[in-house]
Amino acid sequence: MENKKPKKPLAPRVPMPCQPAETRRRNFDEVALGYTREMAMAEADRCLQCKKPKCVEGCPVEVPIRDFIAEVARGNMDAAYRIIKSANSLPAVCGRVCPQENQCEGNCILNAKEQPVAIGRLERFVADTYIAASACEQVTGANACAPRRCDLKVACIGAGPASLTAAGYLAAQGIKVDVYEALHEAGGVLVYGIPAFRLPKNVVATELDGLRQSGVDFKTNWVGGRTVTVQDLLDQGYGAVFIGVGAGLPVFLGVPGENLVGVFSANEYLTRINLGRAYTFPEADTPAYPGRHVTVFGAGNVAMDAARTAMRLGAESVHIVYRRTRAEMPARHEEIEHAEEEGIRFEMLAAPVRFNGDDQMILRSVTLQRMRLGEPDASGRRRPEPVEGELYDLETDLAIVALGTRSNPILLEATPGLERNKKGYIVVNEETGETSIPNVFAGGDIVTGAATVILAMGAGRRAGREISRRLLAR
């Protein structure tokens, strides 16, 4: 009997080069520097090329992950790019900000005994490397644009990931798309929410330029529910309307002193910094509120973004206050590690009781309650409980509340017949994304509540597919 050839030992996961913590904590340059070609090919070679790849099951837009990685391993980046673009219209974005550890990489079979393939890092490398031969290829992966149908047009309200994905899909089918955005710059949370050190502005700009070149028009400074309504658009002859306005109404703590000068929602703080280019002040004339001792409340990705931004703007100390322990923090592990490396301090098992100000109503400190973990709550996490009599003050002159968001009612209340659930989010058909109003679709955070970029993109893709099917069948 012949002896079986021993299996080749699996190489360790290729680490991502990063700026040193001491350097990056005071600049807005991208933290993760990206793979070289050699690094990408070595990491791709770790993929087992499973016959039934579970990683795809974890991807909301169903990227053919095994196939694109095989092309990277061969050094064929053009083919890899086309494969990714067949499903994902924003790979340079997703490769940077998607929670791969909970999605594609979380489903990788190597998780059983080894580190999973770095799918997100490979996706980023391919997107950053490949220069599309045409605008349509940049958006969709198609070799050529579909013939333009002048009689068909679709409107998207909101210019975040869900709308951008729907617009890219529809444009590739030859359907004219107009995107109406309330702010002065398109991109939604990609431009106003995520800091440049995690998602460079030029990366988003490149993706948007590809959409523009494929025929998508962006109409900025149009407020859904005020200067433009769903019915207005239907009356103007749009064959369908997609609502992708996100969930941008911030949640506050509800404690005394929250109206003091120096207390911000994370939405307002990050928008001032990102969209107003406050990090370049006085080059851009939007100033950043000065904070020497900064406290951030919450432990998700937005909280990490706010804390790390404050550190880059010159804060002497930055604390993240969280009611539970590090093990329960919902932020990506990578973001938590980067924050810690940059000098962010974690104040665990603590909850705010009140904000304290001076006679000018300016924030000076926050009073915190010591907490302990009790029995699990409905989420399965142990419920935080106050420790009687354990109060203490933490010096702070800038507080940022990052507890999530709710649906903004402006557009919803201006749209009669639009069904909403008890939490105020739009109810849709899960298969098509269609709302209670015929030919009006919705997706992203306005449907699910605050979620991830890739989940919003998945919703945009489903809606785009259904809209194109209907319109092209006419």
11 within domain boundaries: no
Confidence of residue 381 (pLDDT cuts 50, 70, 90): confident
Q: Are residues 96 and 180 in the same domain?
A: no
pLDDT of residue 8: 61
2 within domain boundaries: no
Distance, CA of 456 to CA of 160 (rounded, Å): 9
8 within domain boundaries: no
Q: Are residues 387 and 427 in the same domain?
A: no
Mean pLDDT of 256-271: 97
8 Å CB contact between 422 and 416: no
Q: Are residues 395 and 462 in the same domain?
A: no
- Domain termination residue (choose one: 364, 382, 401): 401
Residue 162 clears pLDDT 80, i.e. is over it = yes
- Domain termination residue (choose one: 376, 401, 426): 401
Mean pLDDT of the chain: 92
pLDDT of residue 1: 45
Residue 382 clears pLDDT 90, i.e. is over it = no
Q: Are residues 256 and 321 in the same domain?
A: yes
pLDDT of residue 131: 52
Q: Lowest-pLDDT range, 31-35, 281-285, 395-399, 445-449?
A: 281-285
31 within domain boundaries: yes
Q: Are residues 267 and 382 in the same domain?
A: yes
14 within domain boundaries: no
Q: Which residues of 306-333 are buried (b: 16+ CB within 10 A; e: fewer)?
A: bbbbbbbbebebbbbbbbbbeeebebbe
Confidence of residue 282 (pLDDT cuts 50, 70, 90): confident
pLDDT of residue 134: 47
CA-angle at 313, arms to 287 and 16, nearest 5°: 130
Q: Are residues 294 and 231 in the same domain?
A: no
10 within domain boundaries: no
Q: Are residues 244 and 256 in the same domain?
A: no
CA neighbor of 240 nearest in space, from 415, 439, 432? 439
More confident residue, 7 or 42: 42
pLDDT of residue 129: 86
pLDDT of residue 280: 87
For residue 40, give the CATH number of its domain: 1.10.1060.10
Pair type for strands 382-395 and 363-376: antiparallel
For residue 384, give the CATH number of its domain: 3.50.50.60
pLDDT of residue 149: 73
Identify the bridge partners of residue 153 per DSSP, sorted by sequence position.
176
Residue 183: phi and psi, rounded to 5, are -85, 175
Q: Which residues of 218-234 are buried (b: 16+ CB within 10 A; e: fewer)?
A: beeebbbbeebbbeebb
H-helix segments, 241-286: 266-274
Q: Are residues 80 and 216 in the same domain?
A: no
pLDDT of residue 122: 97
178-218 residue pLDDT tens: 999 999 999 999 999 999 999 999 999 988 988 898 889 99
CA neighbor of 409 nearest in space, from 202, 239, 226? 226
Q: Are residues 384 and 273 in the same domain?
A: yes
Give the global pTM: 0.89
Q: Are residues 464 and 323 in the same domain?
A: no
Handedness of CA 192, 196, 197, 202 (dihedral sign): positive
Residue 95 clears pLDDT 50, i.e. is over it = yes
Q: Give me the domain span that covers residue 188.
A: 146-248+407-472
pLDDT of residue 379: 78
Q: Are residues 271 and 393 in the same domain?
A: yes
- Domain termination residue (choose one: 131, 164, 183): 131
Residue 433 clears pLDDT 50, i.e. is over it = yes
Mean pLDDT of 357-383: 93
Rg (CA), the chain: 23
Residue 311: phi and psi, rounded to 5, are -60, -40
* Burial grade of 192 (CB within 10 A; 0-12, 13-18, 19 or more): buried
Mean pLDDT of 31-41: 95
79 within domain boundaries: yes
Distance, CA of 38 to CA of 20 (rounded, Å): 22
